[in-house]
Structure 1
Amino acid sequence: MYFYIFHWSSNGIPEVLKGTVADPATFMTERELLLSEEYSKVKNFIFFILTPLEWLVYLFILGTGLSRVFEKWSELGLKWKVIKNGAYLFFLYLFTAILFYPVDLYRYNLSKKYGISTQDFSSWMRDYVIDFWVGFITTLIIVIVLYWLLHISKKRWWLYAWLLTIPFAIFMMYIQPVIIDPLYNEFYPLKDKALEEKILDLADQANIPSEHVFEVNMAEKTNAMNAYVTGIGDNSRIVLWDTTLNQLSESEILFIMAHEMGHYVQKHIYIGMAAYILSTLVGLWLISKIMPWLIDRFGQVLKIKEMKDINSLPLFLLLISLMLFLSNPVSNFVSRYQESRADEYAMELTKNPEAAVSSFQNLAKTGLSEVNPPFIVKIFRYTHPSMLERINTVAEYTKKEK
Structure 2
Amino acid sequence: MKKVFFGVLMIYLLYAVVISSYLFFADTQLAPEYIGTEADPKTFMNEEQLNLSKEFSKWGNVIYFIYAPLEWIIYIFILCFGFSQLFARWSQQISKYRFFQTALYVVLMSTFCYIIVFPIRYFSFSISKQYGVNIQSFNSWMKDNLIGFWIEAVMLTIVVYVIMLLVSNSPKRWWLYTWFLSIPFTLFLMFIQPVVIDPLYNDFYRIQDKDLEREILQLAQQSNIPAEHVYEVKMSEKTNALNAYVTGIGSNLRIVLWDTTLERLSKDEVLFVMAHEMGHYDLKHLKQLLLGTIAMSFVGLFITSKLYQLTINNFGRQLRLKRDDLAALPIIFLILSMLSFAVSPITNGVSRAYEYQSDRYALQLTNDADAAVKTFQKLSVEGLADVNPPKLVKLFRYTHPPIVERITHIRELSEKQDE
Normalised to the residue count of structure 2, the TM-score between the two structures is 0.94
Query: Which string of whole-angstrom CA distances, capped at 9 and with x for unpartnered residues, describes residues 195-234 of structure 1?
Result: 1011011111112111100000000000000000000010
Residue pair 1:216, 1:242 contacting (<8 A) in 2 also: yes
Structure 2 residue 362 is the aligned partner of structure 1 residue 362 = no
**1:304 CA displacement:** 4.1
Query: Which string of whole-angstrom CA distances, capped at 9 and with x for unpartnered residues, describes residues 229-267 of structure 1?
Result: 000010000000000000000000000000000000011
SS of the residue corresponding to residue 94 of structure 2 reads coil
- The 2-side partners of 1:112 and 1:339 are apart by 28
Q: Which residue, 308, 328, 335 being the options, matches 1:319?
A: 335
**1:297 CA displacement:** 1.0
* Counterpart residue number, 2:140: 123
- The 1-side partners of 2:59 and 2:379 are apart by 19
SS of the residue corresponding to residue 154 of structure 1 reads coil
Structure 2 residue 354 is the aligned partner of structure 1 residue 342 = no
Taking a change above 3 Å as real, the CA distance of residues 304 and 390 of structure 1, as seen in their structure-2 partners, is farther
- The 2-side partners of 1:11 and 1:72 are apart by 51
* Counterpart residue number, 2:412: 396
**1:71 CA displacement:** 1.1
* Counterpart residue number, 1:333: 349
* Counterpart residue number, 1:144: 161
Is the deviation greater in 74-83 or in 148-157? 74-83
* Counterpart residue number, 2:9: none
Q: How does 1:280-319 map to 2 (within 5 A)?
A: 280-301=297-318, 303-319=319-335
Q: How does 1:3-402 map to 2 (within 5 A)?
A: 3-7=21-25, 9-301=26-318, 303-402=319-418
Query: Which string of whole-angstrom CA distances, capped at 9 and with x for unpartnered residues, describes residues 333-377 of structure 1?
Result: 000000110000000000000000000000000000000000011
- The 1-side partners of 2:171 and 2:34 are apart by 58
- The 2-side partners of 1:119 and 1:45 are apart by 22
- The 2-side partners of 1:182 and 1:382 are apart by 27
SS of the residue corresponding to residue 76 of structure 1 reads helix
**1:395 CA displacement:** 1.1
Residue pair 1:244, 1:253 contacting (<8 A) in 2 also: yes
Is the deviation greater in 273-282 or in 349-358? 273-282
- The 2-side partners of 1:304 and 1:281 are apart by 29
Query: Which string of whole-angstrom CA distances, capped at 9 and with x for unpartnered residues, describes residues 282-314 of structure 1?
Result: 11100111111111112234x143221100111
SS of the residue corresponding to residue 214 of structure 1 reads strand
* Shift >4 Å, 4+ stretches: none
Residue pair 1:90, 1:136 contacting (<8 A) in 2 also: yes
- The 2-side partners of 1:149 and 1:134 are apart by 23
User: In structure 2, what residue type is equivalent to 1:298?
Assistant: F
- The 2-side partners of 1:101 and 1:3 are apart by 23
- The 2-side partners of 1:244 and 1:77 are apart by 50
Is the deviation greater in 67-76 or in 188-197? 67-76
The total of aligned residue pairs comes to: 400
Is the deviation greater in 82-91 or in 188-197? 82-91
Identity %: 47
**1:77 CA displacement:** 3.1
After superposition, the CA RMSD in angstroms is 0.8
- The 2-side partners of 1:67 and 1:19 are apart by 57
